[in-house]
């Protein structure tokens, strides 16, 4: 038998043969060729894997972003859960005149003795815990602003998902943000029982460059609200406003419409519309003989709609 020994590959030329006993003889360059093929395949596999990784990463990122958007910002959820604070589901009203003191009802769970609320950093006063799910606090007068409503219990704080707003009044400012013209159109008065839906109430708005074109304007918030008879929504808190809908184009004006449910107690109320061009931070209030920045117009609290509680 021929004696042989295997040499390290590094010591062999490419064409060298290694013969050992009865082992099959394979040219080194053939082996290297296989290695190159393997390497190429591996590279292809790596490329493929990297492609997959890219797709996977995109998929994961996309999913993660969705999750963050929905869960982290709490857009769909009732609250941003701080972990140990109470549950805050909603509050009403959602805004008040900055210069007024307004009683706010907050609903949720986990309220207890000493529970308080703050309104964009202004500590609520006269907080009253009516039950573990119902809290009332007054929002003290402040400046025009929008920010978090935070409820604090002995176990922690929770920020409501909806922001609190201290609203401002544009009437008689003659700044561009005051509506040029707005009018409580119809009806000027009506009679209805408690807890019933009002007839449809209409108002018109003119704002140069905003309402002229046919159809609903963009960037306009229209709201219908009510308060105590003889009250003035540009000075007194306690009015309740809710969004109204676009109705129809009338010349250069846009007409809006809305209804509200008449209050459960009380004999007489006032109502009117208000319009905002900054998503509800500041408003121009309307009356029956025209309000706004155009010449000769001013808001008058004696020119509001009149609701009388009774049989129509």
- Residue 291 interacts with Ca ion (CB under 5 A): yes or no: yes
94 binds Ca ion (CB under 5 A): no
Residue 236 neighbours by CB under 8 Å, 6+ apart:
97, 100, 227, 228
Nearer of residues 93 and 168 to Ca ion, judged by Cβ: 168
In angstroms, the CA 140 to CA 136 distance is: 13
For Ca ion, the closer CB: 95 or 254: 254
Which element (helix H / strand E) includes 25?
none
CB 192: neighbour CB atoms within 10 A? 17
Give one DSSP letter per residue of 173-188, joined into a string: --STTS-SEEEEEE-S
Verify binding: residue 185, Ca ion, rule CB under 5 A. Answer: no
In the complex with Ca ion, the residue whose CB is nearer, 152 or 183, is 183
From residue 233 to residue 262, the character string flagging contacts with Ca ion as x (rule: CB under 5 A) and all else as - is ---------------------x--------
Q: Would you count residue 211 as binding Ca ion (CB under 5 A)?
A: yes
Among 255, 287, 304, 305, binds Ca ion (CB under 5 A): 287
Report phi then psi at 81, rounded to 5. Answer: -80, 120
301 binding Ca ion? (CB under 5 A)? no
Q: Is 171 in the site for Ca ion (CB under 5 A)?
A: no
C-beta neighbour count of 56 within 10 angstroms? 11
Q: Which stretch binds Ca ion (CB under 5 A): 20-28, 58-66, 146-154, 172-180?
A: 172-180
| Residue count, binding to Ca ion (CB under 5 A) | 10
Residue placing its CB nearer to Ca ion in the complex, 164 or 206: 206
CB contact set of 112 (below 8 Å; sequence gap of 6+): 129, 132, 153, 154
- Which position among 50, 289, 302, 310 is part of the footprint of Ca ion (CB under 5 A)? 289
- Kindly state whether residue 300 participates in binding Ca ion, applying the rule CB under 5 A: yes
Question: Judged by CB, which is closer to Ca ion: 104, or 293?
Answer: 293
Whether the bond into 93 is cis, omega within 30 of 0: yes
Q: Measure the CA–CA gap between 93 and 168, rounded to whole angstroms.
A: 15
State the residue for tokens 């920045």.
Answer: 293
Binding site for Ca ion (CB under 5 A): 180, 211, 217, 254, 287, 289-291, 293, 300
């Amino acid at each position: 038998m021929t004696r042989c020994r295997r040499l390290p590959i590094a010591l062999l030329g490419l064409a060298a043969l290694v013969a050992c006993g009865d082992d099959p003889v394979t040219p080194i360059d053939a082996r290297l060729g296989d290695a190159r093929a393997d390497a190429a395949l591996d590279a292809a596999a790596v490329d493929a894997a990297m492609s997959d990784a890219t797709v996977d990463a995109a998929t994961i990122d996309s999913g993660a972003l969705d999750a963050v958007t929905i869960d982290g910002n709490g857009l769909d959820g009732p609250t941003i859960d701080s972990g140990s604070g109470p549950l805050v589901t909603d509050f009403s009203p959602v805004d008040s005149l900055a210069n007024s003191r307004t009683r706010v009802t907050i609903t949720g769970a986990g309220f207890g003795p000493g529970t308080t609320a703050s309104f964009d950093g202004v500590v609520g006063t006269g907080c009253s815990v009516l039950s573990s799910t119902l809290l009332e606090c007054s929002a003290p007068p402040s400046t025009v602003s929008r920010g978090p409503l935070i409820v604090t219990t002995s176990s922690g704080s929770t920020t409501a998902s909806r922001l609190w707003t201290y609203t401002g009044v544009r009437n008689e400012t003659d700044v561009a943000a005051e509506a040029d013209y707005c009018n409580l159109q119809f009806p000027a008065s009506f009679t209805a029982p408690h807890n019933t839906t009002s007839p449809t109430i209409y108002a018109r708005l003119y704002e140069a460059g905003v309402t002229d074109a046919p159809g609903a304007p963009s960037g306009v918030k229209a709201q219908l609200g009510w308060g105590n008879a003889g009250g003035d929504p540009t000075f007194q808190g306690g009015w309740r406003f809710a969004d109204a809908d676009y109705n129809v184009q009338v010349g250069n004006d846009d007409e809006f419409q809305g209804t509200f449910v008449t209050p459960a107690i009380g004999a007489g109320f006032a109502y009117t519309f208000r319009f905002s061009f900054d998503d509800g931070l500041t408003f121009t209030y309307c009356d029956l003989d025209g309000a706004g920045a155009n010449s000769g117009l001013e808001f008058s609290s004696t020119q509001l709609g009149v609701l009388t509680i009774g049989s129509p």
